[in-house]
Structure 1
Amino acid sequence: MIRKFVEKFHLDPPKTLVLGFALIIMIGTILLTLPASTVNGMGLPWLDALFTATSATCVTGLVVVDTGSTFTLFGQLVILSLIQIGGLGFMTFATFFALIMRKKISLRERLILQESLNQMTIEGVVRLAKMILIFTALAELLGGILLSIRFAFDFPLGTAIYYGFFHSISNFNNAGFDLMGDFASLTRYVDDPVVTLVVCALIIIGGIGFMVVSEVYDYRHTHRLSLHTKVVLSTTALLVIVGTVLIFFLEYTNPKTLQPLSMMGKILGSLYQSVTPRTAGSNTLSIGDMHQSTLFLIILLMFIGASPGSTGGGIKTTTFATLVGAVIAQIKGKEDVIFFRQRILPHMIYKSLTVTMVGLFIVMAITMALSITEPGAPFEMILFEVTSAFATTGLSMGLTPELSSVGKFLIALTMFAGRVGPLTIAFALAQRKQKEYYRYPKGKITIG
């Protein structure tokens, strides 16, 4: 249906992506309003259904109702399907079905797939889509098996298997939806090494980008990694390590988070809370009980987010690394930004700056709007919730279920903008630049 609509109206890739995500959200909203979706047999109110469908499709994880106790099996499977489609991209699935039916992938579809996967060229995008589907299936299968074995000690076997695969799919796609009830997420497993390490691995693998995974897998044959992969891996490792250490020390004496735990529990809790802001959304410590310094750190980690071509959101690790590199180069008085003995082109720095500034503008604008519509909410809760929505993270201090109707709509809009906005901006910046036949004279202004 989308293909025919695109061909009829000659939509370009960015518009097609926006249309595709909007259509999936609309279908999900309708399904969640059905009586079969909720335990009470009444279905969700349309606004709550829209919010939940948007959160699932945009792999965010913010919820206005508890997933485990509100939805029936049908409703939960609808949410899980939206997470899977939203995480991998509807074009990846469209390509999969086209290949099964042995249909030729047209040039237009390859361009849309290129945009969906955040690739620079259309070369190899179909092969990459195949690899993504296979790798995703294997990662979610392995994660589901390991979590099912662990949950079997706490739940009946059938429930344990279902919970294991639900949380594996949810966290690999960086969605953060859970079935534990009472908005508790995975807090009961804060000091459990199996749950913590398995889920952290799923979040990181799903968040570093499929192109990086492909290069790492092929490294045994090629013995080389691209600059992109090196920057992603090094930045991700640095953010995880620094985040873990800072959270450990900031929350060490907090009686509501780390203090009651053993040393191993403190380390596992700090690690999980360092990894999950990378747009995953599940948590093992109570977010609302953390110190303000820790919350501010998490806001920064959420805004940075995951890596390009992944299931996560945020401005992306490569954008953050490029801006930091530009600042360091400027301080040192150097003209070029150098990573691993390679020079970053100036237009990449401008692109990074543009994506960051647009992200900041969205967060500031929605935060200001919610400060008006939610006058009783503390400012830090509003800023935290908006950043979480924009970065499609899903972590919450507890404000989301208490939002007004206007507030819910604004957060849903922010999630949608955070999911499709950066893709559209990146594509627009990658278009052919018009040749300039003249240039204005140089001018000087005072900076700083």
Structure 2
Amino acid sequence: MTLRVAIVGGGPAGIYAADILTKSETDVSVDIIERLPAPYGLVRYGVAPDHPRIKEIIKALGRVLAKPEVRFLGNVDFGVDVKLEDLREFYDAVVVATGAKADRELGIPGEELTYGAADFVSWYDAHPDDPQEWPLDATSVAVIGVGNVALDVARVLAKTGEEMLTTDIPDHVYEGLKAKTITDVHVFARRGPAYAKFSPLELRELNHSPNVEVIVHPEGFDVDEHGMEHIGKHKAQKMVLDTLANWVGRDPVGKPHRIHLHFAEAPVEVLGRDGRVTTLRTERTHSPNADGNVEGTGQHTFWDVQGVYRAVGYRSTALPGLPFDERSAVVPNDEGRVLDLDGRPIPGTYVTGWIKRGPVGLIGHTKSDAAQTVEHLLAETTPTATAREPEAVDAYLAERGVDVATFDHWERLDQHEIALGEAAGRTRVKVATREEMLRAGR
């Protein structure tokens, strides 16, 4: 008997799980249930538009979705259009792979005045469920964080709208970036440069814009014995440190926009007036021991900025019908088996990706993560579904009035976006609203 599996989430984690399932010796039928009318999750809606190279992974993911054993059911909202108990009627196992889209918090006074990096990324990546306006009327802004998302946010805030017009951004994003008044973007790291989490390539690309100057401030740019020990164990971070060191003290060349990198400066308070940011207060830090943690020195600096962006990590959110650990922001699990409140595995219920392990790791981690979950699923799952035919799911969704977007719909939308791009002399122009996505897919 064919094993029926539902995967909730059409990003890389869910698609990799589908790929591993279909390559197993077990006869399987997989439905990928996705809230949006388009697949690929954060590859489509989390990668900066001026990094099309990274989106090449979509080609490999698309080959999985095109497999005859796999169906894509887009525009289906888990918990609204279909509940977990409903899925148990149609599937022998359910794998949740919904990732992480919310922003982690800083936990400092005035945080309510700040912007989440994930929200800004959703805006410039034209997420169909997010507003099409974004306030960009500041002159100087701060970005808190030292990961690649922080670099993406800083780079997009600093670059001109004309530079970004070569990418897949739709008109409303271009108009917003074209009208922005930002000249200076200050990026703050709590720790020293030896602990920066930028990837070497992402960091070097920061310096490629003809309109943006990168300034590494020497204050706080110290590498003590603990930092040297750390980079000795991490080759990529040594490459990052070498790049940063080459930029410290460079003579300015007079470009109109600047990205300032500040190390050993921890945000402690955001000040504002009439609901708008006026000042960020930071405290100089130092690392007292080898664990990389920092302590404040009591030396404070007040920065004249009109906006603050939090880029300190993504966070998963709770899902209807599933337990959730608010502290670690994951679904409690044992190697992908979802655990109930008593720590016992819930039959036929699994997780993979960031909702399983937290928002850490690269694509390679996602593949191995999915393999671990699928191994347990195949070893433990027996046929339990009572309505086993795919048509039963289709009929259920049709009765509820759900306008399902299939993989055929996505391929038509994909071609529509490529055609829009060709007309504008670009590779693609992204469709920005759910209604237009569904119309183009039809």
TM-score by length of 2: 0.22
Where relative contact order (Cα < 8 A, 6+ residues apart) is larger, the structure is: 2
Structure number, greater radius of gyration = 2
Larger proportion of strand: 2
